[in-house]
Amino acid sequence: MTTNTIDLSQPVATIIKEHPEVKELLIDLGFKPLSNPAMLNTVGKVTSIKAGSKLANIPLDKIKQTLLFNGYDVIGD
């Protein structure tokens, strides 16, 4: 796995720990609860981007396109 690889099946908190800059991208996409550290440290530890996209009603393709556009390889879909 390269350093710029995002695994959509990993918990959001894990991804943000490895790639802190992704947090703002996700918040801009509609993952507003991630701006709350308590939410990130609880729900974010068990919810993947893939699952979160369903909960937040954000198309997974939109998330993938945004990550790809910003230079990330996307796996785990």
For domain 5-75, give the CATH superfamily: SP0561-like (1.10.3910.10)
Q: How far is CA 31 from the centre of its chain?
A: 8
The pLDDT assigned to 2 comes to: 52
Helices 60-69 and 22-29 sit at what angle, rounded to 10 degrees? Answer: 140
Q: Please report, in tens digits, the pLDDT of each residue of the chain (77 residues total).
A: 457 999 999 999 999 999 999 999 999 999 999 999 999 999 999 999 999 999 999 999 999 999 999 999 999 98
- 77 neighbors 10 (Cβ within 8 angstroms): no
The pLDDT assigned to 30 comes to: 95
